[in-house]
Structure formats: structure tokens, C-alpha cells
Structure 1
Amino acid sequence: MSWEIQFRKTEAQLDIKLASFLNPQSFANVDHIENDINLLLDELTVIIDGAEQTISSSPSFALQHKLARHRDVLSDYYSQFKRAKEKTRATKNRVDLLGSVRNDIEAYRNKSYSNEQTLNKENDKLKSSHNLADQAIKIAMDTQESLRFQRSLYKGINKRFLELGQKFPMLNSLIGRIKNRKKRDSLIMGTVVGFCIILILYYSG
């Protein structure tokens, strides 16, 4: 196989590699393609150098001109490859930068969404605590109103019993027992209400 056929064959492979290098499917294999191009350029250089040594003693102007033209082509390939590397690296840097910006934006969005969820949960928890506190206050107020009603009722009953006790002395002992029972009921009622309020406040926290 003549040096010129070898040059054309290697040149065709180089054209394919340069096209892939300029428009890579993925930047992950750019370094591999770049190494292949360097090997092909070295191979073309070896072919030209070998041909130059072979025809250096030949007086044929046509061969000298053909060799010079192929060396110009090789030089042009080196220039193309240099520009392709600059373009590919600039594109890769731009893609990496855009990817980094996208990742930062996505991380910020995820963080904002997480913070929003946390705030919503805290807000719901606060609302629930307020509702439970309102319920506890309502229970306490209803209980207080009930105790006031019972106190008023007991006062009326006591007054009536006192009047009867004055008329019937044996009723005094019965009145005393009723007073003790009223105190005990009030104490039990207060204890139950206080315990309920403590439970509500504990579980709302």
C-alpha cells in the first residue's frame, strides 16, 4: 500500500473523529476521542515523514508537490484540531456551568419547599394547640358556670334547711352532712377538670 493511500485512509478516519469531537453525544467520552485524534495525527505525521525520506532523492517535481500538499493538509488538520479543542472545552465549561446553576436552583427550590412544609406543619400544630386550648378554656368556663349554679342552688337549699333546722333541730346534723358532701363534690369536680386541662395541654404540645 502506497503512502498516499495510507494517508487517505487515515485522513478519512480523522475526519470522522473530528466530527464526533465537535458534536459529542456525551462529554464523558470527549477525552477518549481527543486521544484517538492525537494518535491519527501522529500516524499522518509518520506517513508524511516516511514518504519524504523515500522521495527525497527523487527529482520528480510532481511527487515533491504532492508531498508538500499533503503536509499542508496535515498542518491544516492540526489547526482544525486546536480550534475544535478550544470550542469543545468552551462548550463543556458552559454546559458544566449551566448544570451547576440548575443544581443550585433545584437545591434552593427543594430547600424552600422543605422550609415551607415545615412552616405549614408548625402552623397546623399551632392551630391545633389553639383549638385544644380553646376547648380547655370552654370546658373550664362551662364547669365554672356549673359550679356557680350549684353554689347558688346549694345556698338556696342551705337557707331552706337552716330555716327548717331552726324549726326542727334534728335537721342540723343532716345539713352538716350535706355541707361536707358539697365540699367533697366540689373538690372532686375541680380535680377532674384540672387533670383534663393538663392532659389537653400536654398532648397539644
Structure 2
Amino acid sequence: MAAALSYEDLRKHARHLENEIDLKLVAFSKLGAGIKSPPHASSDAVPLLSGEDTFEAMALEIEELLNKLTQVNERMSEQPVSGAAMLHTLQRHRDILTDLSRDFRKTTSQHEVRREREDLLRGSGDTFRSDGINNRRDMYLKENQHIHSSDRLVNEQIAIAMETREHLTNQRHAFKRLQTRFNDISNRYPVINSLIQRINLKKRRDSIILGLVISGCTILMLLYVFH
């Protein structure tokens, strides 16, 4: 800025910068409030200049204008004071610069907080999706283990059933053999009874014969003695 500028020229330039900064701050605030994270898409679908880049570019431009306004205010403060009106004007320009700087920092800070919150939410969403995938994978693994356990249990039950069937079959064969033996014994009982009866008859007959012999011998001995 040329050193030959008068106080009035500096004041006009300051007012021009203030109006320009004020207009840009309005657009800057709207841009900061409306910026959203770009959707996940292919590189062909992503614009060359995103909302975040536009915000950063405008922030640099406003910051440069604020620096220029600061320099103009300093140049005006170096001018000779001609009265209370000039002091009031200088203070007014300093207050405007303070307000504009505060609005700029406020919008920038709010944007940073908003961006961090969106990043956190997006990261949480990715974490939730990752957790959801891990949970589904764990669920599938548990289900697979459950199926294998059920299959093993079914195989064990089938093996037990086969062993029981074989045991029952062996018992049935044993019962059949016993039944056959019982039938054989039952069929042989008449012959055995007949033999026993014959033996008993023979014993009885032998007893009778022996008794007759003994009786005859006794009679003969008595006759011999008393004769």
C-alpha cells in the first residue's frame, strides 16, 4: 500500500475491506454449516474441488483480507489525531476488525468440531460395520460348530442303536437256542418216562422174585429144622 495515502483514503479502504470480509464471512458460514463428507464413490465420480477444499480456500482468502484490514487499521492509527471523532472512528474500525476476526474464528472452530464429529461418526459406522461382519462371522462359526456337534451326537446315537440292535439280535438267537433245547427236552420226556417206568417195573419184579426166593428158603429151613 502506498505511503502517500491519506487518512481518508485509508478509512475508505478499511470500509471496503470490512464490507468484503463481511460478505465473505456470510458465505463462509453457510459453506461451513453445509459441508458434508463426500460419499464413497469411484475416483471418476468425485469432483475436482470438494466442499472441504472450497472451505479451506475461502478461509485462506478471508484470513488474508483480515491481515490487510489489520495493516490498514495500523496505518490509520499512525495518522495524526485531529479530534475525538477521529479517535471514535479508529476505535470503531478496531471493534469491527475484532468482531470480524471473532466471527471468522468461530466459524472455523465450529467447522472443525463438526468435521471431527462427522469423522468420529463415520469411523464409528465403519467400526460398527466391521463389528457386524465379525459378529456374523462368529455366529456362522458357532453355527458350524453346533452342526458338527449335532452330527457327532447323531453318529454316536446311531452307533449306540446299532450296538443295541446287535445285542438284541444275539439275545434273540440265544432265546431261540434255549427254546429249541426246551423243545428237544420236551420231546424226549416221554421216552425218559417210559424208561423210568420200565426200570421201576423191573425193580419191583426183582423185589418180588427176591422176596419169593427168600420166603421159599425160609420155609425150607423151617421144614428142615422141625422135621
TM class, shorter-chain normalised?
Answer: 0.5 to 0.7
1:18 paired residue among 29, 42, 49:
29
1:88 is displaced (CA, Å) by 3.0
After superposition, residues 53-202 of structure 1 pair within 5 angstroms as 69-150=92-173, 152-153=175-176, 156=180
Q: How many residues align?
A: 158
TM-score with structure 2 setting the length: 0.49
Tell me the equivalent position of 2:45: none
**1:26 match: secondary structure:** coil
Q: Which moves more between the two structures, 28-37 or 132-141?
A: 28-37
Aligned: 1:42 with 2:42: no
Residue type of the alignment partner of 2:23: A
Give per-residue Cα distances to partners, 1:88-136, cap 9 Å, x unaligned. 3333334444444454445444433432332222222212221222122
Unmatched runs of 5 consecutive residues or more in structure 2? 1-11, 39-50, 185-227
Distance in 1 (CA, whole Å) between partners of 2:156 and 2:116 is: 59
The structure number with the bigger radius of gyration is: 2
Q: Is the 8 A contact 2:28 2:58 kept in 1?
A: yes
From the superposition, tell whether residues 61 and 5 of structure 1 become closer, same or farther in structure 2 (CA, over 3 Å). farther
Percent identical residues: 13
Residue type of the alignment partner of 2:140: Q
1:142 is displaced (CA, Å) by 1.7
TM-score with structure 1 setting the length: 0.53
Distance in 1 (CA, whole Å) between partners of 2:18 and 2:154 is: 87
Distance in 2 (CA, whole Å) between partners of 1:106 and 1:141 is: 52
Comparing both chains, which one has the higher relative contact order based on Cα–Cα distances under 8 Å and sequence gaps of 6 or more? 2
1:7 is displaced (CA, Å) by 4.6
Q: Is the 8 A contact 1:24 1:30 kept in 2?
A: no
Q: Is the 8 A contact 1:20 1:33 kept in 2?
A: yes
Q: Is the 8 A contact 1:14 1:37 kept in 2?
A: no
Distance in 2 (CA, whole Å) between partners of 1:106 and 1:50 is: 54
From the superposition, tell whether residues 105 and 150 of structure 1 become closer, same or farther in structure 2 (CA, over 3 Å). same
